[in-house]
């Protein structure tokens, strides 16, 4: 074989690897960056999220939720204080949390957990239990 076809094959393979790497980075950034959660949980996420209802005002629920996530998170959590949304890394996974006021004096907390790229209800359940303890104290 002549060196030119081999060089062309390496260029093509290198270009293909570069394109795939950029595509994977874009997909990863879309799913794990804090900006991906600026709109909160989607309706579909809320349908599958774990939910807890509290007989507390939204400000108390949100403050205790932030405290709990700050204590449990391996990194500094990202909070959307105006929208009552949060993203935190906990252990090997991450959680998205949204607090919603249903009526004055009554609020709900939605939580979705992910570990290794897959939904993890056990992680979400454990974090929600800790948040519930803090809110009920």
Q: Tell me the domain boundaries of the chain.
A: 1-32, 34-136
**Distance between CA atoms of residues 53 and 25, nearest Å:** 37
Q: Structure pTM?
A: 0.70
- Residue 32 token pair: 């794990």
| The pLDDT of residue 13 | 52
DSSP string spanning 19-69?
HHHHHHHHHHHHHHSGGGGTT---HHHHHHSEEEEESS-HHHHHHHHHHHH
| The pLDDT of residue 74 | 85
Q: What is the CATH number of domain 34-136?
A: 3.30.530.20
| The pLDDT of residue 14 | 53
| The pLDDT of residue 24 | 46
Contact 95, 54 (CB under 8 A): no
| The pLDDT of residue 137 | 82
| The pLDDT of residue 122 | 95
- Which residues fall within 8 angstroms of residue 8, CB to CB, at 6 or more apart? none
pLDDT digits (tens), the chain, 137 positions: 555 555 455 555 555 455 555 454 444 443 444 444 454 677 777 778 999 999 999 999 999 999 999 999 989 999 999 999 999 999 899 999 999 999 999 999 999 999 998 999 999 999 999 999 999 88
Q: State residue 89 phi and psi, 5-degree precision.
A: -95, 120
């Amino acid at each position: 074989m002549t060196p030119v076809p081999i060089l062309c094959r390496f260029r093509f393979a290198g270009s293909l690897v570069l394109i795939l790497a950029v595509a994977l980075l874009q997909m990863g950034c879309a799913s794990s960056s804090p900006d991906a959660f600026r709109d909160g949980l989607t309706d579909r996420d809320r349908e599958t999220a774990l939910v807890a209802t509290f007989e507390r005002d939204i400000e108390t629920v949100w403050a205790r939720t932030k405290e709990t996530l700050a204590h449990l998170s391996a990194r500094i959590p990202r909070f959307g204080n105006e929208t009552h949304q949060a993203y935190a890394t906990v252990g090997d996974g991450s959680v998205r949390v949204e607090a919603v006021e249903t009526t004055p004096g009554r609020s709900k907390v939605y939580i979705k957990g992910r570990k290794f790229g897959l939904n993890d209800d056990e992680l979400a359940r454990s974090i929600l239990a800790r948040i519930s303890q803090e809110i009920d104290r």
